[in-house]
Amino acid sequence: MYDTLISAKTLGKHLNKGWLIVDCRFSLSDKAWGREAYLDRHIAGSYYAHLDDDLSSEIIPGKTGRHPLPSLQDFEELLSSWGLSQNEQVVIYDQGPGGIAARLWWMLHWVGHHQVAVLDGGWAVWIAEELPTSYVLPIKKSSNFQVKERRGLIRSAKDVERIRQDDQHILIDSRAAARYRGEEEPIDPIAGHIPGAVNRPFKDNLLEGGLWKDTELLRKEFEGLVADRDAEHTTFYCGSGVTACHNILAYKHAGLGEALLYPGSWSEWINREERAKRVKREKK
């Protein structure tokens, strides 16, 4: 079973072996690009999942973040439409870094399916290694997949308000350092970070060539950040609950367990006026 990462060569050896492969390529700047790229060429046999349409629910202005989790029923229907069975290996990829693929990876763990891995290096490495691609869409399947929600993997805004002031817990912002420091904010209306949070940009999990760091190095880096806090006392967030999953995946790949996610993340946190004002005061 592969439950964190899988290499392109290993996946290549298991094509046509009954594994479920899902393409999650996506761009915030061109939301149609990922699906178009998939239709043009994809890993043979893979399905497509769109971040906004398939892996998120409707945004409620002033209440949710930019990528609220889908309902359990909708997610169950999506997985069933791919023909997923309870013991089936799933492999997920995106254009390379893994930030979008990690969202679906986390969601599957959230509903109790552990046989799921992200393709190390994603589409970029797959193409570089000249492994099989296709423009043919997979045959439609159906199953009766049943989700089993693991609520303990999620932190609410109320939880975060409590733990951010508790030294026994650590809250980690997964965005780029400049966004964390409030020096720039290209997406959300307010810059800054949740008071009390520290920073671990998700791209710090990658080597220069786009592959993931090895388990030993990741473990050393995370242990240096969280000190003696365990997974249950470690919570990640980002801009909208997507790339924080990259850090959660890296943390698990390092052998440290399953850290927690604040799905609403920064874009939900700043919806409350008193929180937004607190951020602005602390920036002065």
For each successive 10 residues of the chain (284 residues), what is the average pLDDT? Answer: 96 93 97 97 97 97 95 97 95 97 98 98 97 93 94 96 95 98 94 96 96 98 97 98 98 98 97 64 52
Full residue range of the structural domain in which residue 114 is found: 5-149
Sheet bearing 116-119, strands edge to edge: 5-6, 116-119, 90-93, 20-23, 47-48
Is residue 20 located within the same domain as residue 134? Answer: yes
Q: Return the pLDDT at 284.
A: 47
Is residue 61 located within the same domain as residue 157? Answer: no
Among the candidates 121, 149, 177, a domain finishes at 149
Is residue 11 located within the same domain as residue 145? Answer: yes
Is residue 126 located within the same domain as residue 224? Answer: no
The active-site residue out of 171, 194, 238, 270 is 238
AA identity, residue 198:
V
CATH code: domain of residue 118? 3.40.250.10
Is residue 130 located within the same domain as residue 215? Answer: no
**CA atoms of 174 and 265, how far apart (whole Å):** 10
Is residue 140 located within the same domain as residue 9? Answer: yes
Among the candidates 107, 134, 149, a domain finishes at 149
Q: Return the pLDDT at 141.
A: 87
Q: How far apart are the first and last CA of the chain?
A: 50
**CA atoms of 63 and 85, how far apart (whole Å):** 34
Q: Is 238 a catalytic residue?
A: yes
Is residue 270 located within the same domain as residue 188? Answer: yes
Q: Which positions ≥6 away from 11 have C-beta within 8 Å?
A: 19, 21, 43, 91, 119, 126, 131
Among the candidates 111, 127, 149, a domain finishes at 149
Is residue 174 located within the same domain as residue 247? Answer: yes
Instruction: Report the domain count for the chain.
Output: 2
The first and second tokens of residue 177, run together, are 């350092």
